[in-house]
Amino acid sequence: MIGWSFPSRNNGETEGFANAGMEFFKGNPLRALAREVCQNSLDAQRDEDKPVCVEFEKKNVRILSFPGMSQLGEVLKKCSDYWSDEDDEKAQVFLKRAFEELKSGDTCVLRISDFNTTGLEGPYSQDDKTPWNGLVKGASYSVKTASKTAAGSFGIGKAATFINSKYHTTFYRTKNIQNEDAVQGVARLMAFSDESYGDADPVRRSIGYYGEPDGNLAVSSLPGLDQIYKRTEVGTDIFVPGFKFDQSGKNDWVKLMIGEVLENFLMAIEYRNLEVNIAGNPITKKELKYVVASYQKYAKDAFCFNKVLTADSSKVIDEAYDFHRMGKLRLRLLYEKDLNNKILVVRKSGMKVSEIGGLPKGFSYSGILELQGDELNSFFRNMENPTHDKWEPDRHSNPSLAKEYKREVEEWVKDIIRKKASEMAGEEVYVDTANLFNTTVREKDPQNKNENGKEGIINTTYSIEVAFTTKKTSTVRRNSGAGKKEVSGTIDDVGDLSGHRHRDGKRSQTPKGRKGRADSEGKDRVFAGMKTIETTARVIGVGDGVSRLICTPQTGISKGVIQLYATGENGKSIPIHISSLETGTNGATLENGKIVLNEVKEHEKVVIDFRISGDRNYAMGVEFSGN
């Protein structure tokens, strides 16, 4: 008779609600689901001529039509009774939500299916270490049938489906190339007491199996699952009853899942190793650029990395490194405006596996680092953490060598980034400003030092958005005294005025607005109508104490003023006084330590070579005003 079976504790350990594997993924359950499921399918044996296809689809069904739910409700009640005197808030919340849905009569089932794989071998084998038994019954190990570069090694990834179920329950079904059909359910709950089993110790273990109770074996089919989806071709299905997420507001699981797939499997999709369909939304090589653009909000890094893939090859730096004859490192870099200053590190399958910290700052770029070759992939896979998103050398069988190789890879990447940025100094390199005015978090870059060990001038971009506000005006007039009022007028907060005032009269006047300057006749004139201009800019050192400013205003102006600023370790900025100009475009002149320009067209490049008073170097920002 098919049903649930929870093995006896046999006077052994009593298992509570907390499960280490599921706790590991609670912080971001949908991310775990996307990563672990797609990774497992990529690691499976497959037709090498076709991409693995993974499909996510949810369906609402009557609870009683889903296999074993009525009996599972009885088990949950026994769990509640057994732990009633314990103050475990998490367990109580879990039980409450499960009971509420059981009473509602309906449940949402998430189906995950893969195609172009060979299915899971050994569902009826006595060998515990078959792929089927490793997935359904394995603990702290996994069995892969692909190459030695397959990702799974900890065996905790399977917990990702359970944490997304209100019942902590998952059903597995496969049709393999041996023409075997198998299906079995697994529930990860908590210990409870049930004397109906007839064992000397009535306390049951926390993990139970739905199928053939005698031996806890799989069965060939379950009609309730066939009603949701009937598999006719080779592959594997996972059913998650009580799926937690809906399609409204912040819990829009479709958008979140698409974002996670893009962030973690961009290169797998680019290389046609993987295709994913989430609720009718295909993510394939053909649609990739459109999907990335549409879901930029949910995959911000993938959006930047995809620019590396889609950019003109002439703009992408492509470097390779033969790493100790183990395989090759391939690094592709793009220097462009508004990128994320990150490097995507991917293994052979195309899955994101790590991030490199401490990357150079001061200019805008994105890059993709690929590990090519089985031996190279295997070495670095062995230092991955359980979630496969970070290299931790102490996990490796040879920690000291792993630490050395990890450092070597990261330093090679950083050196390439610095070297290429330096080579492109005469070209338009867009500079990152994320830390420009927050220098307390900026790393000290040994490559950014002058020969005296001082911090050198950093390439910077200071793009300013113009904030338009309602004009406020004040009247300039004689208050009292014997002075003669020659002209009355108004000055607004951006310097517009009607008329100007002469320096006559005994009582001084204090007009509001932008400060003016005296001309040869002693008249106070104002830079009328000047406002902040949005611009992209950078400052580089060109040698012999000369710095070069390269900027491009987004608006044409007849007259403009450029003020440079320096940032200190406290993150505050102060004006920099320019002592002299060497050369400059657009009729550049120097007035009171500021650069004055004439007739600059929209998007025209302005290049100024200048010197700064003193021998101190600065991290610089740029403010551009004009009319």
152: alpha, beta or left? (left if phi > 0; alpha if psi -120 to 50): beta
Instruction: Please indicate, yes or no, whether residues 366 and 390 belong to a single structural domain of this protein.
Output: yes
Total structural domains within the chain: 4
Instruction: Give domain status of residue 255, yes or no.
Output: no
In one-letter notation, the amino acid at residue 603 is H
Q: Look at 71-80, 100-109, 338-347, 572-581 and tell me which has the smallest mean pLDDT.
A: 572-581
pLDDT at 471: 35
pLDDT at 572: 66
Q: Mean pLDDT in the chain?
A: 81
- Please say if the pLDDT value at position 517 is more than 50: no
222: alpha, beta or left? (left if phi > 0; alpha if psi -120 to 50): beta
Instruction: Please indicate, yes or no, whether residues 151 and 31 belong to a single structural domain of this protein.
Output: yes
C-alpha span between 545 and 424 (Å, rounded): 20
- Please say if the pLDDT value at position 499 is more than 50: no
Q: How far is CA 531 from the centre of its chain?
A: 36
pLDDT at 158: 83
Provide the CATH number for the domain around residue 539.
2.60.40
What is the SS3 assignment for 36-95? HHHHHHHHCCECCCCCEEEEEEEEEEEHHHCCCHHHHHHHHHHHHHHCCCCCCHHHHHHH
In one-letter notation, the amino acid at residue 2 is I
502 vs 540, higher pLDDT: 540
Domain boundary among 526, 542, 563: 526
Instruction: Please indicate, yes or no, whether residues 222 and 351 belong to a single structural domain of this protein.
Output: no
Instruction: Please indicate, yes or no, whether residues 377 and 490 belong to a single structural domain of this protein.
Output: no
pLDDT tens per residue, range 423-461: 765 555 554 433 333 323 333 333 333 333 333 333 333
Beta strand 517-518 with 524-525: parallel, antiparallel or unpaired? antiparallel
Phi, psi for 614 (deg, rounded to 5): 90, 180
What's the average model confidence in pLDDT over 398-427? 87
Instruction: Give domain status of residue 308, yes or no.
Output: no
Instruction: Please indicate, yes or no, whether residues 113 and 221 belong to a single structural domain of this protein.
Output: yes
Instruction: Please indicate, yes or no, whether residues 398 and 494 belong to a single structural domain of this protein.
Output: no
Domain boundary among 245, 277, 299: 245
pLDDT tens per residue, range 216-231: 999 999 999 999 999 9
Instruction: Identify the band that residue 140 occupies on the pLDDT scale cut at 50, 70 and 90.
Output: low
pLDDT tens per residue, range 269-303: 999 999 999 999 999 999 999 999 999 999 999 99
| Three-state secondary-structure class, residue 307 | helix
Instruction: Please indicate, yes or no, whether residues 577 and 458 belong to a single structural domain of this protein.
Output: yes
pLDDT at 24: 72
Q: What percent of the chain clears pLDDT 70, i.e. is strictly above it? A: 76
Is this structure's pTM higher than 0.75? no
Instruction: Give domain status of residue 292, yes or no.
Output: no
- Please say if the pLDDT value at position 193 is more than 90: yes
- Please say if the pLDDT value at position 32 is more than 60: yes
Instruction: Give domain status of residue 129, yes or no.
Output: yes
Write out the residue range of the structural domain in which residue 508 sits: 471-526
Q: What percent of the chain clears pLDDT 90, i.e. is strictly above it? A: 52
For 65, counting Cβ atoms within 10 Å of its Cβ (0-12 exposed, 13-18 middle, 19+ buried), the class is middle
pLDDT at 25: 75
Please give the torsion angle defined by the CA atoms of residues 371, 377, 382 and 385, in that order, rounded to the nearest 10 degrees. 40
C-alpha span between 299 and 257 (Å, rounded): 10
Specify whether the CB–CB gap between 486 and 500 falls below 8 A: no
Count CA within 13 A, CB hemisphere, residue 420: 24
| Three-state secondary-structure class, residue 183 | strand
CA distances from 24 to 97, 125, 283 (A): 21, 31, 28
What's the average model confidence in pLDDT over 42-48? 74
pLDDT tens per residue, range 87-103: 889 999 999 999 999 99
- Please say if the pLDDT value at position 52 is more than 60: yes
CA distances from 456 to 18, 364, 403, 537 (A): 53, 18, 31, 17
Task: Choose among 262, 264, 270: nearest CA to 303.
Answer: 262
pLDDT at 174: 96
CA distances from 303 to 84, 215, 273 (A): 49, 50, 19
pLDDT at 250: 54
Q: Classify the C-alpha dihedral 571-573-574-578 as positive or negative.
A: positive
Instruction: Identify the band that residue 2 occupies on the pLDDT scale cut at 50, 70 and 90.
Output: very high
Specify whether the CB–CB gap between 131 and 121 falls below 8 A: yes
Instruction: Give domain status of residue 377, yes or no.
Output: yes
C-alpha span between 54 and 36 (Å, rounded): 12
Instruction: Please indicate, yes or no, whether residues 204 and 221 belong to a single structural domain of this protein.
Output: yes
Instruction: Identify the band that residue 515 occupies on the pLDDT scale cut at 50, 70 and 90.
Output: very low
Instruction: Give domain status of residue 399, yes or no.
Output: yes
End-to-end Cα distance, the chain:
86
Instruction: Give domain status of residue 48, yes or no.
Output: yes
Domain boundary among 508, 526, 544: 526
- Please say if the pLDDT value at position 409 is more than 50: yes
pLDDT at 583: 87
Instruction: Identify the band that residue 475 occupies on the pLDDT scale cut at 50, 70 and 90.
Output: very low
Specify whether the CB–CB gap between 346 and 369 falls below 8 A: yes
Specify whether the CB–CB gap between 535 and 624 falls below 8 A: yes
Beta strand 316-322 with 573-576: parallel, antiparallel or unpaired? unpaired
Instruction: Please indicate, yes or no, whether residues 136 and 121 belong to a single structural domain of this protein.
Output: yes
Residues of 39-59 as b/e, b for ≥16 C-beta within 10 angstroms? bbbbbbbbeeeebbbbbbebe
Neighbouring CB atoms inside 10 A of 544's CB total 7
C-alpha span between 552 and 530 (Å, rounded): 17
Beta strand 52-62 with 274-278: parallel, antiparallel or unpaired? parallel
Specify whether the CB–CB gap between 553 and 464 falls below 8 A: no
Instruction: Please indicate, yes or no, whether residues 91 and 165 belong to a single structural domain of this protein.
Output: yes
Task: Choose among 16, 17, 35: nearest CA to 25.
Answer: 35
Specify whether the CB–CB gap between 463 and 433 falls below 8 A: yes
- Please say if the pLDDT value at position 38 is more than 60: yes
Instruction: Please indicate, yes or no, whether residues 99 and 12 belong to a single structural domain of this protein.
Output: yes
Specify whether the CB–CB gap between 331 and 342 falls below 8 A: no
C-alpha span between 341 and 429 (Å, rounded): 13
Instruction: Give domain status of residue 614, yes or no.
Output: yes
Vertex 467, ends 463 and 470: CA angle to 5°?
A: 160
The structure tokens listed for 116 are 């172009």
E-strand stretches of 201-269: 203-204, 207-211, 235-241
pLDDT at 615: 59
Q: Look at 199-203, 386-390, 403-407 and tell me which has the smallest mean pLDDT.
A: 386-390
Instruction: Please indicate, yes or no, whether residues 192 and 238 belong to a single structural domain of this protein.
Output: yes
| Three-state secondary-structure class, residue 305 | helix
pLDDT at 603: 84
What's the average model confidence in pLDDT over 306-320? 95
